[in-house]
Homo-oligomer: A and B are copies of this chain.
Amino acid sequence: MPCRDKNYSESHVAAGFVATFGETLSMLRKLFQTSDPSSQPFVLSGSGTLSWDLVAANLIEPGEDVLVLGTGYFSDGFADCLRVYGTTVTELKAPVGTKPQLPEIEKALSEKRYKAITVTHVDTSTGVLSELQQLSALVRRVSPDTLIIVDGVCSVACEEIDFDAWGLDGVVTASQKAIGCPAGLSISMFSGRAMKAAQNRKTPPASYFASMKNWTPIMQNYEAKKPSYFATPSPQLIHALHTALSQILAKPVSERFAAHRAASDRIKKAIAGLGLKQVAANPDEQAHGMTAIYLPDGVKGADLLPILAKKGIVFAGGIHKEIVSKYIRFGHMGVSVLDPKRNDVDHATKSLGEASAECGYKKA
Decide: A236 and B184 in contact? CB cutoff 8 A.
Answer: yes
Q: Check A2 for interface membership: any CB of B closer than 8 A.
A: yes
Chain B neighbourhood of A53, CB < 8 A = 207-210
Q: Check A48 for interface membership: any CB of B closer than 8 A.
A: yes
A80 nearest in chain B by CB position: B208
Residue of B5, B174, B229, B336 touching A2 (CB-CB under 8 A)? B336
**A172-211 vs B, Cβ < 8 Å mask (1 yes, 0 no):** 0010100000111100000000000000000011111111
Residue of B49, B309, B314 touching A1 (CB-CB under 8 A)? B314
Decide: B84 and A49 in contact? CB cutoff 8 A.
Answer: no
Chain B neighbourhood of A183, CB < 8 A = 9, 12, 45, 232-236
Q: Check A316 for interface membership: any CB of B closer than 8 A.
A: yes
Decide: A344 and B3 in contact? CB cutoff 8 A.
Answer: yes
Decide: A232 and B56 in contact? CB cutoff 8 A.
Answer: no
Chain B neighbourhood of A231, CB < 8 A = 47-50
**Bound complex: CA of A344 vs CA of B235, how far in Å?**
22
Surface stretch bound by B, among A98-106, A141-149, A326-334: A326-334
Chain B neighbourhood of A49, CB < 8 A = 208-209, 230-232
Give A263 Cβ to nearest chain B Cβ, in Å.
Answer: 11
Interface residues on A, range: 35 or more
A346 nearest in chain B by CB position: B2
**Bound complex: CA of A89 vs CA of B142, how far in Å?**
45
A84 nearest in chain B by CB position: B208
A12 nearest in chain B by CB position: B183
Give A358 Cβ to nearest chain B Cβ, in Å.
Answer: 17
Residue of B85, B208, B235, B335 touching A52 (CB-CB under 8 A)? B208
Decide: A209 and B206 in contact? CB cutoff 8 A.
Answer: no
Given A52-B209, A209-B49, residue A4 in contact with residue B312 (CB < 8 A):
yes
Q: Which of A184, A206, A348 has the most CB of B within 10 A?
A: A184
Decide: A3 and B314 in contact? CB cutoff 8 A.
Answer: yes
**A222-260 vs B, Cβ < 8 Å mask (1 yes, 0 no):** 000000011111111100000000000000000000000
Decide: B184 and A45 in contact? CB cutoff 8 A.
Answer: yes
Chain B neighbourhood of A206, CB < 8 A = 84, 206
Those of A10-55 within 8 Å (CB) of chain B: 11-14, 45-50, 52-53
Decide: A5 and B209 in contact? CB cutoff 8 A.
Answer: no
Given contacts A2-B345, A48-B232, A49-B232, 4 further A-B contacts (CB under 8 A): A2-B331, A45-B50, A49-B209, A50-B209
The 5 closest A-B pairs by CB, nearest first: A184-B234, A49-B231, A2-B348, A81-B208, A182-B236
Which positions in A face B, CB cutoff 8 Å? Answer: 1-5, 7, 9, 11-14, 45-50, 52-53, 56-57, 80-81, 84-85, 174, 176, 182-185, 204-211, 229-237, 309, 312-316, 319, 330-336, 342, 344-345, 347-348
24 contacts between A and B (CB under 8 A): A1-B314, A1-B336, A2-B315, A3-B314, A3-B342, A3-B348, A4-B309, A5-B312, A11-B316, A45-B47, A45-B184, A45-B185, A52-B209, A53-B209, A56-B208, A57-B207, A81-B208, A84-B207, A174-B232, A184-B234, A207-B207, A229-B319, A236-B237, A237-B237
